[in-house]
Amino acid sequence: MSASRPEILVAIDLAPTTRALLEASFTLHHGPTPAARLAIAAGRGAAIGGILTNGATEISAALIAALPALRIIHAQGVGHEGVDLDAATLKQIPVTHGRGANADCVADHACALVLALLRDIPAMDALVRQGGWRSGGTMRPMASGKRLGILGLGDIGGRIARRLSGFAMPTVYHNRRPVAGAAYDYAPDPVALAARSDLLVVAVPGGAGSRHVVDAAVLQALGPQGFLVNVGRGSAVDTLALIEALTEKRIAGAALDVVEGEPDLPAALRALPNLVLTPHMAGRSPESVQAAAALALANLTAGLAGAPLPTLVPGQRGRFAEV
C-alpha cells in the first residue's frame, strides 16, 4: 500500500467503472456495514482522508470521530440523510453530494412510470404473452391533460415537470417554501397539492423532514381517480396507508421505484394488481453512473486538497468554499 496514495473509506457498492476510476487515484477500503466501517477506522483511521457513501447509508458521529484525518465526505446521489451532518460540521468536515449527476435519468424514469401506470403497460404485456388480447372493456386513462402535482420541485422535480409539460398537464407543486421564479402554481401543503392533482409525483429527498409526507390524508385527497408515483425516497410514503388505499381503491394506482424498508417489501404490497414496481433503478444508467463517478472523483480530490468544492450540500453552504 503506497503511503502517497490518499485512502478512501467506501461505504457502498460501486459499479465496476466507478471502482476503476477511483482506484486510479485512491486506495479504497470497502466497509459495507457499520461494524465493518468502524473496524476499518480502527485499523486505518489515521490515514483515511475521505468517505464515499450515498444518501441512505449511515455515516455516524462515532465513525466520523474515529477518523482523525478525515477531510471530505461525499454522498453519491442527491440525498445525504444518512450522514450525521452536525457531527461533520462540528469537525469542520465538508459534505458533498451528487447533485445533478443522475437528475435526467431519474426524470426520464419517472415519466416512464407515469405512462406504464396510466396505460397499465406491465399487465397488458403479461396478458399478450399469456395468449390473451384486449376485450371490449379494456381501456386505460391517457396522460394528456391530466393535472400534475409535483411534491418536491427541486432539480429532479423540475425536470419531471418540464418533461410532462409535453402532455399539456396543468401543474402545481409543493415545497417547504415556494421556489422563486417557478412557472407553476404553489400548493400550501401536501393535502392541498393532492386535492388538485390527478397524478402526484413524489421527488423529495429523504430524512426526518419528509418521512411519511404522503400519508392517509394525502392519499384520501388524491382520490379514487388519482395516481401516485414515487421516485424520491421510500420513507416519504406511508406504506401501510398506501396498501390500504390501493386495496380499497381509494386511489386508482401507484408506481414506486423506492419503498421504505427496501429491498424487503411487504407481501401485501407486492400482491397488489394496481401497482407498478421497479427496484430503485431510476437514477441508474451508463450515462448517470459515469457522471456520478466523475463528480465523486472531483469532490473527493478537491476535499482532500482543501480546494473549493463542486457540490457542497445545502446545509453547509457558506461554511466552506464552493466552485
Catalytic residue annotation: 233, 262, 280
278 CB neighbour count, 10 Å cutoff? 16
**E-strand spans in 178-308?**
185-186, 199-202, 227-230, 253-256, 275-277
For residue 226, what is its C-alpha cell? 388519482
3-state secondary structure of 165: helix
Burial 8-17 (b: 16+ CB within 10 A, else e): bbbbbebeee
Q: Compute the distance between CA of residue 124 and CA of residue 105 in angstroms, rounded to an integer.
A: 25
Are the C-beta atoms of residues 288 and 267 closer than 8 Å to each other? Answer: no
3-state secondary structure of 172: strand
Cβ neighbourhood burial of 203 (10 Å; 0-12, 13-18, 19+): buried
